[in-house]
Structure 1
Amino acid sequence: MKKIILVMMFVSSLMYAETAEVRLIREKENIIGSLDQSIAISAGMQDITISTDNMHVAYIVRSQGRPHIYWNNKNDFPYDDIKIDSIIFSPNGNHLAYIANLYGKWMVVLNGSPQGQYEDIKSNSLKFSPDSKRLAYIAKGFSGWCVVVNKKPGKAYEFIKEDSISFSPDSIHISYIAGFYNQYFIVLDEQKGSEYNMFVSNAKIIWDSPTMYHYLAISNKRDIYVITEKIEKVEKK
């Protein structure tokens, strides 16, 4: 009988633990932005971009037919056009970048400051390094497509895969998929790698460590390979 009572007491304690009430205490609340109802109703507000730490918001507002970005409780300069799918925050949330057009030229705007002007910039190519100190994107100039890193354009290619830019976990190395004359290859720190017939269309460069990455490639025999490459420093003689 005692055993039965003890078991019943144990079960009842478990039931109480599962159904115990939880009290939430609000520590603080901070206003990180506001939605002006008059602007939203009269001009139309588009999708909101949120930083990964949920501490910053940005969105496009159209005023008198021209779009501008509203973020951190301030308005950026109005442009002729802004690519809505290009708006991104840096991993630490302190930087905002997007692609805008002014007088027929495309440019990346970083923290409200326009960068270099190009014929076109691929919308989904904007990429911050993990440490938030480097910004890269794919731009089109007179000689072809190139990857621009912190305002500095790299070598031009006939083709650069839009969403292929990838930084190493330590933010030191940058890689992407490029092509020329129907041959495709990985570019690592502006050095061209081995050529392949094609890459899997939705494949990306995956970093396994700060010095090793892998990707999928297709040979001329239609075989799909997983290629793993390691970065080794070469001592200069």
Structure 2
Amino acid sequence: MTNRSIIARLIVISFTIISCQRHKNQGNYSVTKIAKLPNPVNITTTPNNQHIIYPISVGSKQHIIFDNEAEPEFEGIYIEKSFVMGHDFKRHGYLIATNKTQPGDCPTCGPPGKWRAVIDRKFSAEYDKIAGITFSDDDNSVAFAAMKKRNNGTKYWVIVLNNKELPGTYDAISNLSPEFMPGGKSLMYVVKNSNNKSMVAINGTPGYEFDHIGHGIPLLSPDGKHFAYTGLNYTAKGSTVVFDGKIGQMFDEIPEQSLVFSPESNHFAYGAHSLNDWQVIIDGVAQKKYRRVDNIAFSQNGNIAYKAKKGEKWIIVLNGQEGMGYDSIMTGFPKFSPNSKYLAYSVKQNGRWIIKVEDVGMRKEVSFLSEDESSREGEILSPEFSPDSKRLAFVTKIGNQKMVISDGEPSEKYDDIVSNIVFSADNKHFAFVAKRKKTIDQSKFIVVIDGKEGPECDRILNERLLSDLFSSDNINTGYAACISGKWYFIINQHMSNQSYDTICNFLATSKGGYISMAIKNQTLYRINWNR
């Protein structure tokens, strides 16, 4: 989870309905004053967007305000973006530093001076730097990485677990370390030793040494029971995958981004290159060799598909079975439907791009669209199924522009489509965020819902996710947007009358409404919207 810091910013709000007709009633706003804020103020939202924190000064000291309650005072500064919460959001921690220069300070390691972690309002010991506060999934344990200095001035890193330093000292630690494995009993971290070799350590037990370890932290399976990572040796000129602590076959190259677990965690795959050939390794078994393989994708029930270049043609390999050859296959991953019955992708054939949808079980093309609707001159990208797997939408290029095709119906043309296509949970509505150029240096964002545009905006909160666009009852839509320097709530594609200085979070409630916090005139407000 990550934190998002901003200067004076927070708010959310609500919306009303998006069906065949727009409701004129824009619902009811309930506004509650929370606190008067200092000026300037640096507000951070917690990872779940439900809480806020900000530092304030009291004389020569500071303290953090968390949910309108003061944390312990300290001398120095709060380390921005360091605030984290436990998995049940009952525990929390953050970092502070004295901000006083001392001999031997690392000039690229952040604020100078001594650092401390504040965990549940209690201060840790002082260190020369601290990174990576993390809680176990049961929230019973907390860990972080800490830098210390030897008497000769050289620096080293240790892992601190529940305020106790674990055995082992390291020259460097990955910025993604440490990380708890599910159950909270095992802690893993990627470290570099004095011999300049990297390794994964689990509870202090060292693993295999490599010149480089992919991602900076092992990839965990969705159920958390398995882990995997790539290891590269420069001298041996080879890469391997370590799966659950066991080293695998050596290849010339293994792209670290290719490692993927199936959603049910019972399958694992990656791409590998040796000499002039590429192949996919599935559950430790090497598949057929090709000139190139790319974009491995699993369905919910474990079907596997990927792109492969065979001779001069590109094919889709589905559960080991080769499909037809095409001049080109779309950029990105083939897309399985949520029910795992269909596979969508686009191909270039005879100078035109065509959207293909296959029945996974029969490896037979099915008709989601007519021939005219599925064929385009420009590349077809980003196919997306509705949650019930009965609707299909995709992006297509038209010269230097793009548009969205949903159920065969084209949208307006835009200069870019900047978000994924999202469907409502009841499958009836769809939306995306587009960009329209106004001048060479200026563009406007537009939320398009069921083919209808909202107002042109300078910025849209969470424009790439739109996770709370549709209300929980699928009746209303809404988002927060900045227009001409002010932030507004856009309810069912209509701007709110009230504007705010900033909007930071946006949450749909379980009752079909929305909740947010906002700042206006240095005052923090909680805003609820309901029909």
Alignment of 1:1-237 (within 5 A): 29-31=139-141, 33-38=143-148, 39-40=156-157, 43-48=171-176, 58-64=188-194, 65-71=196-202, 74-84=205-215, 87-102=218-233, 103-142=236-275, 144-161=277-294, 164-171=295-302, 173-201=303-331, 203-208=332-337, 209-221=339-351, 223-232=352-361
Give aligned pairs, total.
215
- Cα deviation, residue 198, structure 1: 0.7
Partner secondary structure for residue 100 of structure 1:
strand
Larger RCO: 1 or 2 (CA < 8 Å, sep 6+): 2
The one-letter code of the counterpart of 1:226 is I
Match for 2:145: what amino acid? L
Relative distance call for 1:76 and 1:22 in structure 2 (3 A) is same
Moved more, 115-124 or 190-199: 115-124
State the TM-score, normalized to the length of structure 1. Answer: 0.76
Task: Compute the displacement of 1:37 (Å).
Answer: 2.8
What do residues 140-179 of structure 1 show as CA deviations (whole Å, max 9, x unaligned)?
2356111001110000000112xx11111111x1110001
Q: Secondary structure at the match of 1:138?
A: strand
Which range is displaced more, 39-48 or 114-123?
A: 39-48
CA distance in 1, matches of 2:230, 2:274: 15
Compared CA separation, residues 82 and 52, structure 1 to 2 (3 A): closer
Deviates more, 1:114-123 or 1:65-74: 65-74
- The one-letter code of the counterpart of 1:145 is W
Say if 2:176 and 2:216, in contact at 8 Å, map to a contact too.
Answer: no
Pair 1:137–1:25, CA change in 2 (3 A):
closer
Query: CA–CA distance in 2 between the matches of 1:73 and 1:34?
Result: 14
Counterpart secondary structure, 2:210: coil
How much does 1:53 deviate? 7.6
Write the letter of the residue equivalent to 2:300.
P
Matches of 2:318 and 2:359, distance apart in 1: 11
Which 10-residue stretch deviates more, 75-84 or 88-97?
Answer: 75-84
Q: Which moved more, 1:98-107 or 1:116-125?
A: 98-107
TM-score with structure 2 length normalisation?
Answer: 0.36
Rounded to whole Å, the distance in 2 between the matches of 1:109 and 1:48 is 18
Identify if the C-alpha distance between structure 1 residues 54 and 206 changes in structure 2 by more than 3 Å, giving closer, same or farther.
farther
> How far apart are residue 217 of structure 1 and its match?
1.7
Q: What RMSD in Å do the two structures reach over aligned CA positions?
A: 3.4
| Displacement after TM superposition at 1:215 (Å) | 0.9
Where do 5+ consecutive residues of structure 2 fail to align?
1-29, 35-66, 70-88, 92-137, 149-155, 159-169, 364-531
User: Structure 2: how far apart are the matches of 1:44 and 1:85?
Assistant: 12
Q: Is the 8 A contact 1:32 1:57 kept in 2?
A: no
- Give deviations 1:104-124, integer Å, cap 9, x for gaps: 331100122101221221221
Confirm or deny: 8 A CA contact 2:305 2:316 kept in the other structure: yes
| Deviation, structure 1 residue 181 | 2.2
Code of the residue aligned with 1:199 in structure 2: it is: I
* DSSP-derived class of the 2:263 partner: coil
Q: Which whole-Å CA distance do the structure 1 matches of 2:232 and 2:200 have between them? A: 13
Residues 115, 25 of structure 1: alpha-carbon distance in 2 compared, 3 angstrom cutoff: closer
The question of whether the paired residues in 2 share the 8 Å contact of 1:51 and 1:93 is answered with no
